[in-house]
Homo-oligomer: A and B are copies of this chain.
Amino acid sequence: MDDKETGRVEAFSDGVFAVAITLLVLNIHGLDNPLSHPADSDLATILLRQWPTYLAFATSFATIGVMWINHHRLFTHIKRVDTNLLALNLLLLFVIVFIPFPTALLTSYITHPENHIAAVLYSATCILLAISFNVLWRYASHKNRLLDKDADREAVQAITNQYRFGPLFYVISLILAFIYVPASVVLNLLLALFFALPGRHARSAPED
């Protein structure tokens, strides 16, 4: 019975992650109306000129993909569901679904003097995402509330430790966004890679 409960939360979340990550391709400029390109420039030039679009597609894909890996990792341990968890999971998905918006903004303003505001919005969204993950995990893991009774204590603690400073790291990225946008973008990418890795103890042991 319990298994069925988490099963459906995971299925719904998988659906949201899958749609959000696939919709990103719609942001690649020119896909929706490839016939409208100006006649006086050749195709290779057009394709090369829109490099920020590809960069944004790759970054958003990596971010949402890594967040799916994290969601999947948490629900390896979470075995039961209550109304609060459903609400916290919805909050998390709300931020995931929102990500394409700041990404699109950042792409279109990347070579523009006002790119600071777009980068700030992107980092602010990541802070919300990191907070959502922390709140969901703290709620589920507090006194083993919704975890497997035989949950590996060290693996659970490793996740808690890894997530603890997530919001803080993204605050640094937000401050960098005011100073030098490329540094903020690179830090966001590095943080995505960091959260793709399993936490310290989990890494030494086989994940499943």
Measured CB to CB, the residues of A under 8 A from B are: 1-5, 8-12, 14-32, 34-35, 42-44, 47, 57-58, 61-62, 65-66, 68-69, 72, 75-76, 80-83, 86-87, 90, 93-94, 97-98, 100-101, 104-105, 107-109, 114, 117-118, 121, 196-198, 206-208
Contacts and interface: CB of A to CB of B under 8 A. Distances in A.
A97 B65 CA distance: 12
Given A31-B100, A69-B86, A118 B8 contact: no
Contacts of A83: 69, 196-198, 207
Contacts of A206: 82
Number of copies: 4
Contacts of A107: 34
Question: Which 6 A-B pairs give the minimum distances between C-beta atoms?
Answer: A15-B18, A34-B108, A19-B22, A65-B90, A12-B14, A16-B18
A16 B29 CA distance: 21
Nearest to A34: B108
